[in-house]
């Protein structure tokens, strides 16, 4: 929704809750959970090196996914522009 007068134009800017951001945050969350499950099952199967590496990637993916979800929930980037 935009507002316009004779001298001022106010344009509302949509922030990070966009369809693409929801898609990538969801995909990243599912992928990191998959890495974590594979890493845990590999670790329990006594293949420690690959279990630790896969678990590391799973935990790193969860941190990145939580960052994306926080930017979506906090509506980062939204506001208004005055022209």
Q: What is the pLDDT of residues 45-57, one digit of tens each?
A: 878 888 899 999 9
Residue 61 lies in a domain: yes
Spatial contact of 25 and 69, defined as CB atoms under 8 Å apart: yes
Residue 20 lies in a domain: no
Residue 48 lies in a domain: yes
pLDDT band at 1 (very low <50, low <70, confident <90, very high): low
Measured between its terminal Cα atoms, the distance across the chain in Å is: 15
How far apart are the C-alpha atoms of 1 and 71, rounded to whole Å?
22
Please tell me the predicted confidence (pLDDT) of residue 3.
62
Residue 5 lies in a domain: no
- Reading the block at residue 9, the tokens are 């134009």
Residue 67 lies in a domain: yes
Range of the domain at 62: 29-74
Residue 18 lies in a domain: no
Residue 15 lies in a domain: no
Q: Could you tell me the maximum CA-CA distance found in the chain, to the nearest angstrom?
A: 73
Domain count, the chain: 1
pLDDT band at 2 (very low <50, low <70, confident <90, very high): low
């Amino acid at each position: 929704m935009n507002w316009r007068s004779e001298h001022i134009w106010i344009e509302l800017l949509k922030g990070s809750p966009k369809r693409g951001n929801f898609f990538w945050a969801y995909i990243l969350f599912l992928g990191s959970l998959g890495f974590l499950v594979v890493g845990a099952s590999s670790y329990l199967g006594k293949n420690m090196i690959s279990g630790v590496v896969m678990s590391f990637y799973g935990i790193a993916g969860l941190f990145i996914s939580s960052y994306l979800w926080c930017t979506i929930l906090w509506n980062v980037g939204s506001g208004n522009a005055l022209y």
